[in-house]
Amino acid sequence: MGRFLGDRVIKVLTADHSEETDVVMPILETSNTSAPIVAARLKKAYCQGFIENRYVFPHKRDDDAIALYIGAKKVIFQKLDDLKEACAQAVLAGMTARKNQEIEVGVFNGETVTPVPRGYFEHIEKVRGETRKMKVMENAREAVANGSAGKEEIQIATNGVEVNDDGKVVPASASTTNGALAISGNGVLHTPNGKRKHEKDEEAPPRHQMDNGLHNQGDFDYVKT
């Protein structure tokens, strides 16, 4: 993969960009095997380093928009056909591919080799989204109860949350909520019917019980009367 990616970088980069390139650095440890090959193809130094942001989410963005978003001059992705060819070349000697065999790349292009029921991925995304929303709500309510909540956390605790077009969990607008709970600074939930309920139920006082199992009989002194 490093050889294919190195050739693509050489093809895409202008002479000025190539001249400005100092080192090749792997971002995510899974690229450790490819990065040295890319460095050799570009005739640049290879090194390791600390990267603040390891993941790039290109949701609804082209290459130029992604580069602008992360503050890079250029973003170059491995082509899917090159990835397939690299995997095919990595097949052990003596092994032959089955006729019409395909490589599963559905994670990249959404087209899976194995048939998937209609609506399956949408269902998974919905389940994950609901889990994320519940976690954000839980954290916001805990912050309010502890008195450390900021403006956004108070909005979340009051109006709930929703997922925006970028896939981020954000405070829901007041107009989209129905019967939302309001939380005061003392951790009390104010429900639409006016009833008050503490966010965290008070624990019942512990009941004092003596463990009089046989293995504990020697732990107690008995007084004859």
| pLDDT, block means (10 residues), the chain with 225 residues | 92 85 86 92 90 69 87 88 85 66 82 85 80 88 90 88 78 60 44 44 44 41 41
pLDDT in the model for residue 205: 44
DSSP state of 179: S
Look up residue 54 and give its amino acid: R
| Interatomic CA distance for residues 38 and 33, integer angstroms | 9
Q: What is the pLDDT of residue 225?
A: 40
> Is the full-model pTM beyond 0.75?
no
| Token couple for 126 | 């919905």
Instruction: Output the pLDDT for position 44.
Output: 93
Say if CB 187 and CB 144 are below 8 A apart.
yes
> Could you please report the per-residue DSSP string of 74-122?
---PPPHHHHHHHHHHTSPTT--PPTT-----HHHHS--SS---TTHHH
Q: In 3D, which of 63, 80, 96, 76 has the Cα closest to residue 13? A: 76
